[in-house]
Amino acid sequence: MLFSLLLYIACIFIFGGFSAPIMASESSQSANIKASDMINLKKNECYGCHGAYQKKTENDDAHDFSCSNCHGGDPASKSQQGAHAGLIAQPAHPKSMLQTCGPCHLEQVTGVSQSVHASLSKEVNQVRAAFGAAFGAKNELAGLTHIPIYDTPETPLALADDLLRRLCLRCHLYSSGDPYPLVGHGTGCAACHFNFNAGAPATHSFLATPDDKQCLQCHYGNWVGADYHGRYEHDFNEEYRTPYITKDPIVRPYGIEYHQLVPDIHQQKGLICVDCHTGAELMDTQKTATILCQDCHAQQRLETSLPANVSQHEGRYLLFSKGTKRKHDIPLMHHSAHTIAPNDEITCQACHAQWAFNDTGTHLLRNDTNEHDAFWKLTTQGSWEVEKILTYNLNSNASDDIPPTMRDKINGEEKKGIWHQGYTMRRWETIQLGRDEKGRIAVMRPVLDLHLSWIDETRKVRFDAVPAMPPTNAPNPPSSSAQGLRPYTPHTTGSAGIFYRQRLQKFYREEAENK
């Protein structure tokens, strides 16, 4: 049966965000709002009814003003209906952030709207191009909010768009994520600057500097961020997760158990994500360049320009970590290999990555039927919606099965059909090398080794394992792109050790054989 052939299926999680046109349309509205007008309102007027939440909603000093400043409503009203008129439940949401956060943080809000970290246009367009979208900047979407909506996909590209909107883009600034204990988070500004526990704000004190907990609310699973902490997600099948599996979601804080591998050396020393990925970079990628390994570890670079959190003292270079709140000695590159093979020929991680994500054969099936028996060992797939439907419908004798629907994670609308996911094989120990768009030797991962299928509600197979294909008109495509391999930077840095030569020799030998 087709179901039995599609037991291993999977998806890539892609962060999303919003695009500049949404923000620009509201800029004139908020330009006349003064920050001082927001501060000078009567405080604590909401606690007459919401006194039980007073301690939980205490603000930090910079935001110590009335609830209504951000949440709106009419605190002077004596009725619930009047007090809640115009209430903004999520004031930091992208649709509201310019109005609520913009009066004090206009530059940051405007910058975020233009950032790749928010729109994820690169990832969205990469997947769409693999399933037939026209290649080139003029044909690319500005971000996830521009992905077309289809009730009945007629092409592989349309099916990929449905996949992106309903499964892959579960974690972005428009969405609060799946309600797993360490995944649920705020929307918009609050996604990074609020501390959430079990899907709810722990306090109303804003975090000026997010720590790794906030980053991992989206960067979990087999994606960059989780590897920094040495985490490699288990396979979905119960038999491959034993003996460590559990049905209790509380001890599966990210939805799936994970293997604990060796963390990145920077993480072992106490550095957190924002020590390298600064707020300026994350919130406005058009203005701020990404920091490179050489910026801290190449003495020639340091003698020319010091990164913001690096200082020089008595011939030593020191990095001040926002995580440990102390200064760390920076080791400089001295090995002859760094002279023989400069960064324009080979990336740092080609030698220094300790392990890498290799999820081979990512199969994805949209199932519009209510038949799930073939997935009884795959009820845990990293998606709260899918887990809830499969767990209930496969274990209940009731006739009221949960219908097979999933929300559009961008506009919130329910759509028929659920997306199953799994993998042919998940491994980490073999690091694959290839050449990136610049011709450099780089670590590769099969991130586009995708296969899409769809069975409609009449059990008709609309698409059967349609593979992703590299764009034929892309300039300088990476090597091995036909296998879905794309260059990436594993955050598993460590000493190159004794095996980096063997890794490179194997690559050169295979490259020569394939010419």
Q: Do residues 490 and 393 share a domain?
A: yes
Q: Do residues 256 and 271 share a domain?
A: no
Give the pLDDT confidence score for residue 33 in this predicted structure. Answer: 42
CA distances from 408 to 125, 161, 194, 321 (A): 18, 11, 24, 39
What is the total count of domains within the chain? 3
**483 occurs within a structural domain:** yes
**437 occurs within a structural domain:** yes
Q: Do residues 249 and 303 share a domain?
A: no
Q: Mean pLDDT score of the chain, rounded to an integer? A: 85
Cα separation, 255 vs 250, whole angstroms: 9
To the question of pTM greater than 0.85 for the whole model, the response is yes
Q: Do residues 258 and 277 share a domain?
A: no
Q: Do residues 358 and 461 share a domain?
A: yes
Among 29-38, 44-53, 290-299, where is mean pLDDT lowest?
Answer: 29-38
Q: Do residues 244 and 302 share a domain?
A: no
Q: Do residues 330 and 375 share a domain?
A: no
Residue 306, pLDDT > 90, answer yes
Give the pLDDT confidence score for residue 344 in this predicted structure. Answer: 77
Q: Could you read off the pLDDT of 99-155 as tens digits, one per residue?
A: 999 999 999 999 888 887 788 898 999 999 999 998 777 889 999 999 999 989 999
Q: What's the distance, CA 200 to chain centroid?
A: 19
**32 occurs within a structural domain:** no
CA distances from 74 to 48, 78, 87 (A): 13, 9, 8
**472-477: average pLDDT:** 56
Q: Do residues 272 and 186 share a domain?
A: no
Q: Do residues 368 and 481 share a domain?
A: yes
Residue 480, pLDDT > 70, answer no
- The b/e string for 277-288 (b: 16+ C-beta within 10 A; e otherwise) is ebbebbbbbeee
**52-67: average pLDDT:** 81
Q: Say if strands 316-320 and 405-407 run parallel, antiparallel, or are unpaired.
A: unpaired
Among 20-24, 119-123, 399-403, where is mean pLDDT lowest?
Answer: 20-24
CA distances from 215 to 130, 172, 195, 447 (A): 28, 11, 11, 21
Q: Do residues 259 and 271 share a domain?
A: no
Q: Could you read off the pLDDT of 187-230 as tens digits, one per residue?
A: 999 999 999 987 788 888 999 999 999 999 999 999 999 999 99
Q: Which two tokens stand for residue 339?
A: 């002279």
Provide the domain limits for residue 307.
266-286+293-334
**105 occurs within a structural domain:** no
Q: Do residues 356 and 504 share a domain?
A: yes
**69 occurs within a structural domain:** no
DSSP secondary structure letter of residue 346 = B
Q: Which two tokens stand for residue 402?
A: 């949960």
Cα separation, 8 vs 423, whole angstroms: 5
**197 occurs within a structural domain:** yes
**438 occurs within a structural domain:** yes
Q: What's the distance, CA 482 to chain centroid?
A: 25
In 3D, which of 347, 356, 354 has the Cα closest to residue 485?
356
Q: What is the DSSP string of 365-409?
A: EEE-SS--GGGTT---SS-HHHHHHHHHHHH--SS-PPPSEEE-T
Burial of 390 per CB tally in 10 Å (0-12, 13-18, 19+): buried
Q: Do residues 326 and 399 share a domain?
A: no
